[in-house]
Amino acid sequence: MSLQFIVAGIGTEIGKTVVSAVLAEALNADYWKPVQSGDLANSDTETVRRLVSNPGTHFHPEAYRLTQPLSPHAAAELDGIQIDLARIRIPETDNALVIELAGGLMVPLNDRDLTIDWVAQSGLPVVLVSRNYLGSINHTLLSVEACRSRSIPLAGIIFNGASVPATENFILNYTALRCLGRIGPEKTITKEVIKQYASELDIKLITSLLSVH
């Protein structure tokens, strides 16, 4: 099976889409977002499509496209549907595949299933995206603990935004996870910016850490 993994964040608006674009660019990987809530004309899939330059990336359609920018369970209810984990099937591809989640790991998909339940079911490794803010240590460690309690493999962490060494060093030392990369604060995210960050990634390290799971 080709390299497949999940990009998860410690919360919403953490930078998962930018990180997914960088990883797709670096690995010439396909991209898939299982659930899109709101902003369908300017979805995360369309955002990554605009940011990725390589011709090898294929963009797979979402399993669920919900009209309202809410938690998936609430957005689905307003749309008169219920999200079924069995319908969220990983696309078939011979290419590497980047899967971007909606929101954080504990986001509800329906009245009984959380996003992390689908992640555990998938058996795929997770690249965790952390953003530095007051409380981010707590949110990052909780996300790591949630994955480990469900035996979800973690490949490492990518930090997004302004760097805070004291925060990042504590997280990496406490969790014993590898830092896979850092994305600094950017006023505008363009194809050129994505290309630059993609070129700075240690692809051999990332591939080896993802492949051991």
| Residue 33 falls in the annotated catalytic set | yes
Closest residue by Cα to residue 157 from 144, 147, 166: 144
- Are residues 111 and 17 in contact, defined by beta-carbon separation less than 8 angstroms? no
Active-site residue numbers? 33
